Amino acid sequence: MYLCGMKAEQNERSVLHPVMLAGTGSDVGKSVIAAALCRIFKQDGYHPAPFKAQNMALNSYATPEGLEIGRAQAVQAEAAGIPCHTDMNPLLLKPQSDHTSQVVLNGKPIGNKDAYDYWRRGESEIDFRKEVCAAFDRLAARYNPIVMEGAGSISEINLRHTDLVNLPMARHAGADVILVGDIDRGGVFASVYGSIMLQTPEDRKLIKGVIINKFRGDMRLFEEGKRMLEEICGVPVLGVVPYYKDIYIEEEDSVSLEKKQRELAEGKVNIAVVLLRHISNFTDFDTLERDPRVNLFYTNNTSDINRADIIILPGTKSTLDDLLELRRNGCAQAIIRAHREGKMVVGICGGYQMLGQTVSDPDGIEGSIAHLPGLGLLPIHTTITAEKTTRQITFQFDGKECSGYEIHQGVSDTEEMVMLTDHCIGTYIHGFLDNAPVIDFLLKDQAKDEVSVQNYADFKEQQYDLLADHVRRYVDIPQLYKILQGDD
């Protein structure tokens, strides 16, 4: 059941075709452009909703119904002003290793799949294409327009027959496809032209426009390039969007964390987030990161951990594997030593499990490691289970009501939602650090000044509006509307 409370009647404005943001590659900015369009359509009086048939990410979110979707679609739903729903991302793959992923269908895990077997899909008893198309149809019956997001590159022709998310999905939806290319990485002419020319004649007709993303420098220098690209591709360039630095939209891909391994800073509270190999839900730290009192960075360097004021063990898709690696690389000992010296240690979800006495996986849910001792900082024992807990929750902290969500496989022998001992906090709650009472508690003995940090929900709303303004400034939105209102 949808919880949006929205009336089912059509918008007074004209009905728009679905629009798909497809990419010349991964990390070209499809998710952010999709979020911008969701907010723009909302501002213009439509009732948009995001959709990505298949997502691969460790950064996920719990819907109001207690089901799981990719974080990017939850962000896009926020931009559209509606609650997220599993129909917005019916198929989620959560990598567990280089070769296997947990498959989450319609918000619930259905098991682990080997990548080769999954992409062959010949022996599966589940018709994934039927499932994702049904989810789109349900969504399209309630919202207009649907802002669709492709995955990776649309020119992986070796995977065309099994592709659920790019041009085959656009065909089912009757979507107009806008190709997004990243000029920052170079080779934008080849990647845009090649992505179009490698499509079948039928699919090539679906591509109605191009957006060049992440431009740096003087826009006038690309005017001739824009004209040339339109000429060789036969498709209009709807806009060239500059790189931005002052707009904050939650990111889904962990590649961005490589840019956040910064040095320690004098005069600020230095917070080290331990960089795990299978780190998940790193958006947990966005609020702390923008606090002017804080210098937050990601590291697996023991000397950085030793010098930090606060250490955070984040969530992970593979608790035991990451726990073993922490012992191998010396980070476990560094965290224990820092705690012994009186520094605050915080564990969230998988990080919380690692801070306990033991972690066991008797049924091999995560892999071949059956049991490991934890770091011993909290009095809990955890057993990894097949059943996944997924829910949105409210909780009390320091006498004030807070909110967050849980997504975890594993049961710990405690009923406490937040375990607080001397210099150590553990919780399963993602979004824990988005709450002002929690941040104030963490920083009260460290920060020199008190500051008023904007409510996180209000902050995000402001950022979606800024993103929409940015994209409106550089993308021909009237031309996009003409495309989405066309007859062909």
| Residues catalogued as catalytic | 349, 430
Residue 353 near residue 359, CB atoms below 8 Å:
yes
Closest to 3 (Cα-Cα) out of 84, 73, 121: 84
Task: Give the CA count within 13 Å in the CB-facing half-sphere of 289.
Answer: 16
CA distance 109 to 68: 9
Residue 314 near residue 281, CB atoms below 8 Å:
yes
Cα separations in angstroms, 155 against 190, 191, 237:
12, 9, 19
CA distance 75 to 133: 22
Omega of the bond leading into 145 within 30 degrees of 0 (cis): yes
Give φ, ψ of 62 to 5 degrees: -100, 130
Looking at 227-307, which runs of residues are DSSP E strands? Answer: 237-242, 269-274, 279-280, 294-299
Cα separations in angstroms, 471 against 18, 136, 417, 453, 465:
19, 26, 41, 27, 10
CA quadruple 314, 319, 321, 327: dihedral sign:
positive
Burial 74-91 (b: 16+ CB within 10 A, else e): bbbbbbbbbbbbbbbbbb
CA distance 347 to 159: 39
Beta strands at 418-421 and 424-427: parallel, antiparallel or unpaired? antiparallel
Q: What is the dihedral of CA 364, 368, 372, 375, to 10 degrees?
A: -100
DSSP H or E segment with residue 180: strand 176-182
Q: What is the dihedral of CA 93, 96, 97, 103, to 10 degrees?
A: -30
3-state secondary structure 65-83: CCCEEEHHHHHHHHHHCCC
CA distance 56 to 101: 9
